[in-house]
Structures are given as C-alpha cells and as structure tokens.
C-alpha cells in the first residue's frame, strides 16, 4: 500500500500523472549516483518526479517503470545523458560569492604574477561551471587584474557534466537581467547588447575559456597543473567518501600553494587535510 500511495500523489498530496513507485525511485536514484555521485535521498523524491517526468512525456512512456526499461534499450547512452542533464541542479550567477573574486583579483593573481611583466602560464579551472557565469566572472577578473594579459599564456577550463549547460555557456549569450549582477564598470567593458532581452560576452572573454563536458567522477584528460580551482556548491550533492576522493584529486591537479575556492555551505574539515584554510571557503594547497 505504501508504493501505491507514493505512486499516485506527491509529498504535498497532489495527484500525479505518472506512477513513481518506491522501487522506481530507488532505481533512478541508484543510476544517478553511480553515474554522477549525486545522492538523491527521500527528500528529493518530488524533484526526481518533476524533472524526470518531462523525459517520460518526450519519449511517450506511460510510467517510470517503462522509462527504466528505456534506459536499458538501444538508445541507452543518449538517454542516460539526458537523465543526468535533467537531474543536475544549475543554480548560478555572475560574481556569486563576490569575496572569492575579490581574493582572486587582489591576492591570487598578484601572487602568481609576481613582478614578472613578461607574462607566463596561468591556468584556472571552473569545475561544475553550469551555464558559464562563473568562468566568465573569472575571465573578467583575470583581464582586469592583468593589464598585460596578452603576454600571458592564460586559459580557463570550464567543465560540467550537463552537456546542455556546456552548450549554453559556449555561446556566451545571457538574459540581460542576469547580466545586471555584473559590476557596472565590468559590464560596460565586457558585455554587449544583442537585443532588448539578451547580452553577449565579449570576444576577449570567450577567447580565454575552454568549455568542455566532464564527469568529475570519471578520468580527467587534462594534465594540469592548475593555479586555482573553483568548485563551488558541487560537492554538497556527494557523500563524504566521494568528497574525500574529489578533494584529493583536486590537490593532485593543483600546483604547490595552489588555490581552491569552494561553496559557502561546504568545508574540507574532516574530509581533506591537504589544504590550509584561509577563511570564507578559500584554501591553499599545502601538500
């Protein structure tokens, strides 16, 4: 009887179009965790229903059970990617957690640049970049902090498991309302209107960023080392074992004394001892 109740109604008691049994929910949650590391507990049942039911409508499936059969069918690879895209949460914005960009501008980049006016190599990774607002914020900060940037071999790697978000970020086109989050001086310099509703990031910013799809739980094709890594509001969806593995892998990809920026509700305490905490979710590698 428990399955039937869960199948017909949401947690708020509203009627539902499709049946989502306990078995179906656990099967979908298991597949998502195996593929992405994202843990979907009971509190995420309505989220799973709301997002995955869209795939049922697109495919013409009558139930989640039928959808699970589809995930094992001839189009399995494509549909697993669509499932991941549906489940992943993409909450982001330009210059979100602004103290990180202040540190990047005033401490990180000057420490990397030193007194060498001839330029050098600079690599920053935006891991879990969503639709690209974070790497474009990094690019604006980098361009402002290094007036001689044209002398530098400077690049930003922007990765996300959601291929739709990577495609969106690559265009560099955003709602004008989102661009209002950018400080006015930077907006005037680096953002141009497309029409009354949309804006586009400048070519100089686009030239700094590589957008690539990447599952953080898979092998990483890049060699590094990176000078700084942004991985913010990503590991909150992982269990502690996965977090521990991921932060150790980040340490391996960072140069000595490299910088790590994480989300406001995240911490390395009790998880990874390879970084020194500088405060406000900012760390530096110690080993």
Cite the active site residues.
Answer: 51, 160
3 state SS of 31: helix
CA angle 99, 199, 138 (to 5 degrees): 30
Calpha distance 47→91 (Å, rounded):
14
Report in angstroms the alpha-carbon separations of 280 from 20, 95, 118, 263.
41, 15, 32, 9
Calpha distance 200→204 (Å, rounded):
12
Beta carbons of 251 and 274 less than 8 angstroms apart = yes
Calpha distance 237→221 (Å, rounded):
23
Beta carbons of 2 and 22 less than 8 angstroms apart = yes
Pairing verdict, β 121-127 and 226-231: parallel
Task: Give the CB-side neighbour count of residue 205, counting CA atoms within 13 A.
Answer: 26
87: left (phi over 0), alpha (psi -120 to 50) or beta: alpha
Q: Give bridge partners of residue 260 from the DSSP assignment.
A: 229, 283
Calpha distance 81→161 (Å, rounded):
9
């Amino acid at each position: 009887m428990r399955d039937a109740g869960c199948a017909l109604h949401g947690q708020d008691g509203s009627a539902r179009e499709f049946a989502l049994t306990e078995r179906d929910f656990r099967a979908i949650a298991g597949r998502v965790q195996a593929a992405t590391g994202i843990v979907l507990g009971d509190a995420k049942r309505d989220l799973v229903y709301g997002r995955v039911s869209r795939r049922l409508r697109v495919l013409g499936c009558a139930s989640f059970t039928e959808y699970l059969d589809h995930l094992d069918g001839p189009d399995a690879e494509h549909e697993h990617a669509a499932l991941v895209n549906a489940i992943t949460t993409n909450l982001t914005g330009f210059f979100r957690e602004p103290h990180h960009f202040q540190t990047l501008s005033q401490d990180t980049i000057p420490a990397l640049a030193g007194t060498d006016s001839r330029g050098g190599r600079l690599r920053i990774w935006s891991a879990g970049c969503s639709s690209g607002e974070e790497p474009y914020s990094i690019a604006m900060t980098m361009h402002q902090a290094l007036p001689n940037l044209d002398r530098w071999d400077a690049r930003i790697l922007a990765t996300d498991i959601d291929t739709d978000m990577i495609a969106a970020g690559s265009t560099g086109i955003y709602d004008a309302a989102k661009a209002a989050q950018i400080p006015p001086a930077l907006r005037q310099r680096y953002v141009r209107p497309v029409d009354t509703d949309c804006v586009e990031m400048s070519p100089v910013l686009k030239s700094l960023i590589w957008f690539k799809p990447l599952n953080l739980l898979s092998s990483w094709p890049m060699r590094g080392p990176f000078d700084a890594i942004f991985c913010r509001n990503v590991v909150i969806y992982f269990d502690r074992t996965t977090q521990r593995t991921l932060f150790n892998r980040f340490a391996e990809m960072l140069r000595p004394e490299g910088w790590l920026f994480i989300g406001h509700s995240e911490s390395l305490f009790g998880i990874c001892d390879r970084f020194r905490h500088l405060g406000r979710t900012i760390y530096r590698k110690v080993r």
